[in-house]
């Protein structure tokens, strides 16, 4: 990030406002827009149907990943189920908890409650990280994560590198196949906050968004993913990824305390 410190937007007095209309006009406008939203949903359904028809590639089901109980083969992550979804979490060796990737933290924080629902549907879930297990384990305890995490340090692509991805796998007996993976904005289904912000009048507050004239000026992408202890958005040396401030024992960060990696 080039922008090291910003403040949260004001809650009142912003220059731009949607036009004010009567209820019947609002309702009619909403109904018209709803038709476009439904078309967008159906287009997404059609894309998902194409995704289900993509080819897959076989991986080495015996490759070893390291979890809380030591090394296990990749196929064990399926927990006997046929399908597996993983999130691949970046790691910065030697950095303190607050120095770990805010983007991966946001995705991991949102998706952690998904595992029981996926399991009910017959899909297992796991977090993979390139971090060494002796560093990862205390981080998991601090964050309160309970879903399975594994270190993939030393493994080749697509399991051991290219972090910041969501990947899907299919098991056929003892054989394992990669069916799909995505990254960047493809990860947004893991974090409902983005969809919620897109519904608000001022959106995400990011400069790339198409805004009406007079709307608040957008800022750097991801500017609100990290804050200081007072809740002010910042990528400066006093930051933590936003979810970390909810954790017991999360103390204010001293300036310069190991933030060498920026989004």
Going from N- to C-terminal start, the domains of the chain cover 55-188
What span, in angstroms and rounded, lies between the C-alpha atoms of 160 and 175? 18
User: pTM of the prediction?
Assistant: 0.89
pLDDT score of 184 more than 70: yes
Q: Which CATH class is domain 55-188?
A: alpha beta
**Given the DSSP bridges, would you call strands 149-151 and 123-129 parallel, antiparallel or unpaired?**
parallel
pLDDT tier at 13, thresholds 50, 70, 90: low
pLDDT score of 113 more than 60: yes
Structural tokens at position 64: 């070893």
Q: How far is CA 89 from CA 191, 230, 239, in A?
A: 14, 27, 19
Rg (CA), the chain: 21
Mean pLDDT of 94-106: 96
% the chain with pLDDT above 70: 92
Buried b (16+ CB within 10 A) or exposed e, 67-90: beeeeeebbbbbeeeebbbbbbbb
Lowest-confidence region among 9-13, 87-91, 96-100 = 9-13
SS3 241: strand
pLDDT at 11: 55
Is residue 152 within 8 A of residue 129, CB to CB? The reply is: yes
The pLDDT tens digits for 23-56 are 999 999 999 999 999 999 999 999 999 999 999 9
Is residue 181 within 8 A of residue 165, CB to CB? The reply is: yes
């Amino acid at each position: 990030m080039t922008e090291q410190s910003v403040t949260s937007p004001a809650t009142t007095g912003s220059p731009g406002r949607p036009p004010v209309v009567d209820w019947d006009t609002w309702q009619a406008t909403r109904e018209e827009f709803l038709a476009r939203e439904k078309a967008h949903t159906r287009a997404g359904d059609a894309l998902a149907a194409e995704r289900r028809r993509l080819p897959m590639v076989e991986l080495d089901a015996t490759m070893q990943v390291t979890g809380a109980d030591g090394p296990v083969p990749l196929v064990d992550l399926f927990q006997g189920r046929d399908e597996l979804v993983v999130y691949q979490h970046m790691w910065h060796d030697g950095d303190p908890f607050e120095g770990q990737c805010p983007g991966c933290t946001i995705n991991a924080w949102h998706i952690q409650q998904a595992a029981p629902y996926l399991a009910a549907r017959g899909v297992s879930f796991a977090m993979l990280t390139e971090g060494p297990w002796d560093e990862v384990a205390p981080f998991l305890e601090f964050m309160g994560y309970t879903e399975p995490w594994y270190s993939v340090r030393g493994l080749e692509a697509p399991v051991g590198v290219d972090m910041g991805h969501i990947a899907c796998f299919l098991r056929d007996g003892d054989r394992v196949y990669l069916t799909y993976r995505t990254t960047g904005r493809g990860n947004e289904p893991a974090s409902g906050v983005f969809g919620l912000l897109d519904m608000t009048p001022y959106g995400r507050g990011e400069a790339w968004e198409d805004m009406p004239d007079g709307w608040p000026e957008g800022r750097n992408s991801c500017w609100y993913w990290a804050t200081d202890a007072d809740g002010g958005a910042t990528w400066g040396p006093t930051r933590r990824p936003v979810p970390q401030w909810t954790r017991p024992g999360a103390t204010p960060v001293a300036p310069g305390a190991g933030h060498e990696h920026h989004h």
